[in-house]
Structure 1
Amino acid sequence: MKELRDIVKAFDIADKNGKQTALATVVHVEGSSYRRAGARMLITDDGQLTGAISGGCLEGDALRKARLVMAQNKPMLVTYDTTDDDDAKLGVGLGCNGIIHILIEPISALKPDNPIQLFKLFLSKRERVVLITLFTLNNKQAPQPGTCLLLTQNEDIKGMFPDDAIKDMLLADAKDVLVNGNSVTKTYIYGDKFTCFIELLQPTVSLVIFGAGNDAIPLAQLAGVLGWHVHIVDGRSNYAIPERFPTVQKIIMAKPESALAQIVIDERTVIILMTHNYNYDLSVLKQLLPLQLPYVGALGPKKRLQRMLDELKDEEMEITAEQLASVYGPAGLDIGSENADEIALSILAEMQAVLKNRTGTSLRYKSVIHNRVPEQIITQTMN
Structure 2
Amino acid sequence: MKELKEIVNAFYVAQKAGKQTALATVVHVEGSSYRRAGARMLVTDDGQLTGAISGGCLEGDALRKALLVMAQQQPLLVTYDTTDDDDAKFGVGLGCNGVIHILIEPISIADASNPVNFFNLFLSKREPAVLITIFNMEDRHAAQYGTSLLFDQRGGISGALPASTISDAVLVDAAEVLRSGNTTTKTYFYQDNYTCFIELLQPSVSLVIVGAGNDAIPLMQMAKVLGWQITIVDGRANYATAARFPLADKLIVAKPHEVTPQIKLDKRTVFMLMTHNYNYDAALLKYILPLQTPYIGVLGPKKRLARMLAELSDDAVLVKENSDLVYGPAGLNIGSENAEEIALSILSEIQSVLNNRNGQSLRDMPVVHDRSNVNNFQLIK
The TM-score, its normalising length taken from structure 2, stands at: 0.98
Distance 1:205 1:347 in 2: 14
Q: What is the CA–CA distance in structure 2 between the aligned matches of 1:227 and 1:181, rounded to whole Å?
A: 20
Q: Deviations over 1:233-262 (max 9, x none)?
A: 000011010000001100000111101110
Query: Counterpart of 1:160?
Result: 160
Distance in 2 (alpha carbons) for counterparts of 1:331 and 1:286:
18
- 3-state SS of 2:260 partner: helix
Output the CA distance in 1 between the equivalents of 2:98 and 2:363.
20
Task: State the Cα distance separating 1:364 from its structure 2 match.
Answer: 1.9
Match in the other structure for 2:64: 64
Equivalent residue, structure 1, for 2:367: 368
Distance 2:299 2:206 in 1: 18
**1:338 maps onto 2:363 in alignment:** no
Q: What one-letter code is carried by the residue in structure 2 that aligns with 1:130?
A: V
319-328 or 156-165: which moved more?
A: 319-328
Residue 374 of structure 2 corresponds to residue 380 of structure 1: no
Which residue does the alignment assign to 2:357? 358
Alpha-carbon distance in structure 1 between the residues aligned to 2:41 and 2:170: 26
Q: Secondary structure at the match of 1:227?
A: coil
Cα distance, 1:373 vs structure 2? 1.2
Match for residue 41 of structure 1? 41
TM-aligned CA deviation for residue 265 of structure 1: 1.2
Matched residues, number:
381
CA distance in 2, matches of 1:255, 1:59: 50
1:326 matched to which residue of 2? Answer: 325
Tell me the distance in 1 between the aligned counterparts of 2:104 and 2:298. Answer: 45
Q: Does 1:145 pair with 2:145?
A: yes
Q: Give the SS at the match of 2:28.
A: strand
Residue 245 of structure 1 aligns with an amino acid whose one-letter code is F
What SS does the aligned partner of 1:134 have?
strand
Amino acid at match of 2:377: T
In structure 2, how many angstroms separate the alpha carbons of the residues matched to 1:105 and 1:316?
56
Deviation at 1:317, TM superposition (A): 4.6
Residue 154 of structure 1 and its aligned partner are, at CA, apart by: 1.2
Residue 11 of structure 1 aligns with which residue? 11
Partner of 1:113: 113
Offset at residue 320 of structure 1 (A): 4.6
Q: State how 1:241-320 maps to structure 2 within 5 Å.
A: 241-313=241-313, 315-320=314-319
- Residue type of the alignment partner of 1:253: V
1:86 & 1:139 partners in 2: Cα distance?
24
In the alignment, the residues of structure 2 paired with residue 180 and residue 379 of structure 1 have an alpha-carbon distance, to the nearest angstrom, of: 19
- Tell me how far 1:319 sits from its aligned partner: 2.9
Aligned to 2:202: 202
CA distance in 2, matches of 1:162, 1:151: 15
Could you tell me how far 1:322 is from its partner in structure 2?
Answer: 3.9
Percent sequence identity is: 66
Question: Do the aligned partners of 1:252 and 1:259 also contact (CA within 8 Å) in 2?
Answer: yes
The AA in structure 2 aligned to 1:238 is N
The one-letter code matched in structure 1 to 2:331 is G
Is 1:186 matched up with 2:183? no
Kindly provide the amino acid, as one letter, of the partner of residue 212 in structure 2: A
Read off the aligned partner of 2:273 and give its amino acid letter: L
Counterpart contact for 2:309–2:319, Cα < 8 Å: no
2:73 corresponding residue in structure 1: 73
For residue 98 of structure 2, what is the aligned residue in structure 1?
A: 98
Query: What secondary structure does 1:83 align onto?
Result: coil
**Alignment-mate amino acid for residue 247 of structure 1:** L
RMSD (Å), alpha carbons:
1.0
Q: Could you tell me how far 1:367 is from its partner in structure 2?
A: 2.7
Q: Please give the secondary structure, in 2, of the residue aligned with 1:318.
A: helix
Unaligned regions of 5+ residues in structure 2, if any? none
Q: What is the deviation of 1:90?
A: 2.4
**TM superposition score normalised by structure 1:** 0.98
State whether residues 82 and 93 of structure 1, in contact with CA within 8 Å, keep that contact through their aligned partners in structure 2.
no
CA distance in 2, matches of 1:200, 1:281: 35
